Structure 1
Amino acid sequence: MKLSKVSSLLSRVRKVVAFFHRSTVAFAHLKTNQARLDLPKTKLKMDVVTHWNSTYDMLVSYLQLQPAIYATLVSKDVQRNESDVNTLSEGDVRSLEQLLEILRPLKGATEVFCEEKTPTISIVAPMLHLIRSQMIPLEGDYGLMKDVKEVVLTDLGKRYNSTKVKHMLHYSSATDPRFKTVPFLNDEEKSSVFADLATTVAEYSDRHKVPTLVKEVPQDPSAISDTPLPDLPDLPNLSNTGAAGGVGLPPVKQEPVKVPKQTDSSGSLSNLYWDVYVVKMDPPPHQEQTKSSLLSAQEEIEKYVALEC
């Protein structure tokens, strides 16, 4: 973090933690003081630059064991072996507590984004809004707390700024039932997101409509030809019962009918019955016309948003 006061404070904490990691005498005294003061049986953690949240975890472990750390560092046995390690003042401890409070929502955000079992892109926009709202300096904030919040806000302001990225994040949140009302956007931004989403759905629907073959037939029944079909010839007696004098025929071996494989994949009906013909007829007067894809998409989105999950 680009704050000299924070960097100096973290450096001193690291120095104390490193001392207990390398000194067996100090570590033994620390465990004894932990038990005597009835503190959690945990170990001091050292932060690692490449590990997210490691600084937060280091501060948590330090503050949990701070009474035992102080008691150990002021003992004569430890001071005799190490005089370069100093305890933190009460002001330093208060600064650590303030820093920990600021880092807590950032730790929660990174844990959510590290989830591997569920997609997380829809959470990015609402999470950014939540973090920014928590980083706005309050009237009671001063000194270190105010400075750290301003640094975090400035850093977040440089991320996810492109229009394309914003649209992608907003669309992802709008299609996630948990954030479908996009409460982190203002009314104008909400209207823009849902309008663009409806347009995208309508365009996709129009591109993927299944074409049908339309065969026009006359509406006037009198226009249909009533020419009678020619008479069919009489069929011979094919009974295979010899007792009746009929001509005996051997039984016919039935072969399975081979249906030619269709290559047209325009729809389920065409796969079953080849070409699908729909009779084209003019709609009667005052009949409601088919809704456009855009209107249908807008209505579906309104129902989706209003539906309680």
Structure 2
Amino acid sequence: MEPPRKRRTSPVWEHFELFAQNKVRCLLCHKELTYSNNTSSMIRHYRAIHDHAQSAASGPDTSQNSRKKIVDDALVNMVIKDSQPFSIVEDVGFKELIHVLEPTYVLPTRQALKAMVDKQYEEAKEKAKKTLQKVMSVSLTSDMWTSINMEAYLAVTCHFIDEEDQLGTILLGVEHFPSTHTAENLAMAHSRFMEEWGIKDKTKCIVTDAAANMIACVNNLNVRHALCVAHNLNLIVKKSFEEVPGLSELRAKCRKMVTYFRTSTTAKETLTQVQKQMGLPSLKMILEVDTRWNSTYLMLERLYNLREPVGAALASLRTEITPPTSLEYEIIKETIQVLGAFQQATIELSGEKWVSASKVIPMLKMLSHTTQNKTKSLTSSMARQLGANLVRRVIDRSLKAEAITVRTMPTLLDPRFKKLGFLSSTKLEEAITRLKGNCAEIIRNTPSSTPLQLQEAIQTDQSSDSGDLWHLLDSNVGQSRQNSSAIVDATIEVDRYLSEVNLPRQEYPLMYWSKHKYIYPHLYKLAQMFLCIPASSVPCERVFSKAGEIVSKKRNRLNPNTVKKLIFLNKNQ
């Protein structure tokens, strides 16, 4: 029996025959399928069973296959970018939309869609591994996260300077972590990451928060450790707040009022109407989060800006909540002024796409300087004491940072800052000495760096017929001459670099090193090593923000392995 004429135009009929009123047979494998006056089941069978077994030319239609791949890729990218569930291909409305946009396209099953994601994950991972093979050194950030299912995950991001002297970031993975969060277990997990990605010998630093198990984990790995600056600033501000009598109570009063406006529908609508009547933009109150000091800053700033509509709204509402007095609003205003510089510092030091580790020391110096100047003009005793507390803690943190290699080396190697960022002249000299020592080590480990005359002298010593009697002494002399030469060369290179005029702060430091890699070849290698260190572990926290969208209530049954792949693809696109 011949198929209906309107169906003969479909290329899939080249591979099927209609042998009964509602039955078709595949000409390639002789499988029988139910036929209901459309070719959907036939196309699905061909693509699932035969499409990969034949070349594109032997498929139903080369141009149609090409179009199918374009739509398939777009579908996969939508699932990855927008955190859509695999079950979207079963949603009636989505099916109708696809049919209108692409009538000949047959949506894959959710299992087929998941297989497409798996394939893209493997391809993307292989590409990322090839990228990391080409870099000289990397730094990692690491943090833990707990999903809505109370499952723990460990995230590790990798930061490096690529062949084009640009800062690069790759999410290595978000691994399910069912084990207890001991330093030993965390160290083993990090080791697996580094071995899998081939970066064990390239990892120069790991940035984490101040959790004791994370610090012990990095110590077990025998890798340099840097504490997240964003967490440090959070602790500085929180402890400075707590040390000011009355300020915590004022903050709690503000929080209570903000909570009222965010949880009461009537209060929220009243505030919106009052803002419209005053000709103001409709803004919502911001509630602070205990783990983020800058959320306190944003809460107080928004409350102060909305003080007039908030007062008018409260006057028309039946509530026992009272707004701050004019004196309290003045304290809030000056508190915001003091904290403004810390907000700016937190934003700058949390960036992924620009060099941030080199900013830590000069940023701390500028914070102490700016806060001291602002405190002088304050009238509120609470705000003045808050300013004094902040300055004291920032100076203490700054002096500690100036004694740590992973903080001092990036600053000295940033042509915008060099020596200008340091508070202590003693710490500066110690840092320069360490820089010269690191540079000398690079020179000693560079085969072509040994002068020809010295190589000939060493060879002459080694080939002399003095026998074993003078071998040890001759070797020590040769090594001493090599060390002396390396130290001299390193001192010359470092002093010449530091004597140059600093770049303007708006310039990009990696562009400088790209242009000067042959002038200062050994410092260039150190720059690649230290300037890729992030100032904070915020990159991992951004990963968890996306993870929270993926592991949602609608997708709470996702396999942890699938979660890993989806987050990897989303963050590495």
TM-score norm. by structure 2 comes to: 0.37
Distance of aligned partners of 1:91 and 1:122 in 2 relative to their CA distance in 1, 3 Å threshold: same
The aligned counterpart of 1:92 is: 328
Q: Distance in 2 between matches of 1:182 and 1:307?
A: 12
Distance of aligned partners of 1:162 and 1:61 in 2 relative to their CA distance in 1, 3 Å threshold: closer
Distance of aligned partners of 1:147 and 1:163 in 2 relative to their CA distance in 1, 3 Å threshold: closer
Report deviation, 1:46: 0.6
Q: Distance in 2 between matches of 1:193 and 1:164?
A: 8
Aligned equivalent of 1:144, options 358, 363, 382: 382
- Measured against aligned partners, the alpha-carbon deviations of 1:286-308 in whole angstroms (never above 9, x if no partner) come to xxxxx933332222223323445
The aligned counterpart of 2:269 is: 28
SS at match of 2:397: coil
Report deviation, 1:103: 1.1
The aligned counterpart of 1:101 is: 337
Q: Distance in 2 between matches of 1:157 and 1:139?
A: 17
- Measured against aligned partners, the alpha-carbon deviations of 1:149-191 in whole angstroms (never above 9, x if no partner) come to 1222343355365588434422220001221233434555444
Q: Distance in 2 between matches of 1:17 and 1:163?
A: 37
1:205 aligns with 2:443: yes
Q: Which amino acid aligns with 2:371?
A: M
1:178 aligns with 2:416: yes
Do the aligned residues in 1 keep the contact of 2:399 with 2:424 (CA within 8 Å)? no
The aligned counterpart of 1:118 is: 354
Q: Which amino acid aligns with 2:284?
A: K
Structure of higher RCO (CA pairs closer than 8 Å, 6+ residues apart): 2
Size of the aligned set, in residue pairs, is 230
Q: Distance in 1 between matches of 2:400 and 2:493?
A: 29
SS at match of 2:447: coil
Q: Distance in 2 between matches of 1:166 and 1:48?
A: 31
Distance of aligned partners of 1:190 and 1:157 in 2 relative to their CA distance in 1, 3 Å threshold: closer
Which has the larger displacement, 19-28 or 150-159?
A: 150-159
Report deviation, 1:38: 1.9
Q: Distance in 1 between matches of 2:345 and 2:402?
A: 23
SS at match of 1:40: coil
Report deviation, 1:52: 4.3
Distance of aligned partners of 1:109 and 1:164 in 2 relative to their CA distance in 1, 3 Å threshold: closer
1:127 aligns with 2:363: yes
Q: Distance in 1 between matches of 2:366 and 2:394?
A: 12
> Unaligned regions of 5+ residues in structure 2, if any?
1-240, 461-483, 504-573
Distance of aligned partners of 1:16 and 1:127 in 2 relative to their CA distance in 1, 3 Å threshold: same
Q: Distance in 1 between matches of 2:401 and 2:315?
A: 57
Q: Distance in 2 between matches of 1:299 and 1:98?
A: 49
Q: Which amino acid aligns with 2:494?
A: I
Report deviation, 1:115: 1.0
Q: Which amino acid aligns with 1:44?
A: M
Q: Distance in 2 between matches of 1:121 and 1:183?
A: 12
Do the aligned residues in 2 keep the contact of 1:182 with 1:190 (CA within 8 Å)? no
Q: Which amino acid aligns with 1:205?
A: I
Report deviation, 1:5: 1.3
Do the aligned residues in 2 keep the contact of 1:20 with 1:26 (CA within 8 Å)? yes
Do the aligned residues in 2 keep the contact of 1:16 with 1:85 (CA within 8 Å)? yes
Q: Distance in 2 between matches of 1:170 and 1:160?
A: 11
Which has the larger displacement, 46-55 or 192-201?
A: 192-201
- Measured against aligned partners, the alpha-carbon deviations of 1:227-251 in whole angstroms (never above 9, x if no partner) come to xxxxxxxxxxxxxxxxxxxxxxxxx
Which has the larger displacement, 149-158 or 19-28?
A: 149-158
Q: Which has the higher helix share?
A: 2
Distance of aligned partners of 1:46 and 1:186 in 2 relative to their CA distance in 1, 3 Å threshold: closer
Query: Identity, % of aligned pairs?
Result: 23
TM-score norm. by structure 1 comes to: 0.65
Do the aligned residues in 2 keep the contact of 1:136 with 1:153 (CA within 8 Å)? yes
Q: Distance in 1 between matches of 2:395 and 2:307?
A: 35
The aligned counterpart of 2:315 is: 74
Report deviation, 1:9: 0.9
SS at match of 1:4: coil
- Measured against aligned partners, the alpha-carbon deviations of 1:98-120 in whole angstroms (never above 9, x if no partner) come to 01011111111111221122342
> Unaligned regions of 5+ residues in structure 1, if any?
217-290
Report deviation, 1:201: 1.2
Do the aligned residues in 2 keep the contact of 1:56 with 1:103 (CA within 8 Å)? yes
The aligned counterpart of 1:299 is: 492
Q: Which amino acid aligns with 1:172?
A: P
Q: Which amino acid aligns with 1:89?
A: T
- Measured against aligned partners, the alpha-carbon deviations of 1:251-293 in whole angstroms (never above 9, x if no partner) come to xxxxxxxxxxxxxxxxxxxxxxxxxxxxxxxxxxxxxxxx933
1:155 aligns with 2:348: no
Report deviation, 1:49: 0.6
- Measured against aligned partners, the alpha-carbon deviations of 1:5-33 in whole angstroms (never above 9, x if no partner) come to 11111111111111112222222221111
Q: Distance in 2 between matches of 1:295 and 1:206?
A: 12
The aligned counterpart of 1:166 is: 404
Q: What are the within-5 Å matches in structure 2 for residues 3-42 of structure 1?
A: 3-42=244-283
Q: What are the within-5 Å matches in structure 2 for residues 245-284 of structure 1?
A: none
| Cα-Cα RMSD | 2.7
Q: Which has the higher strand share?
A: 2
Distance of aligned partners of 1:52 and 1:185 in 2 relative to their CA distance in 1, 3 Å threshold: closer
Report deviation, 1:72: 1.0
Aligned equivalent of 1:196, options 434, 439, 445: 434
SS at match of 1:135: helix
Q: Distance in 2 between matches of 1:301 and 1:23?
A: 63
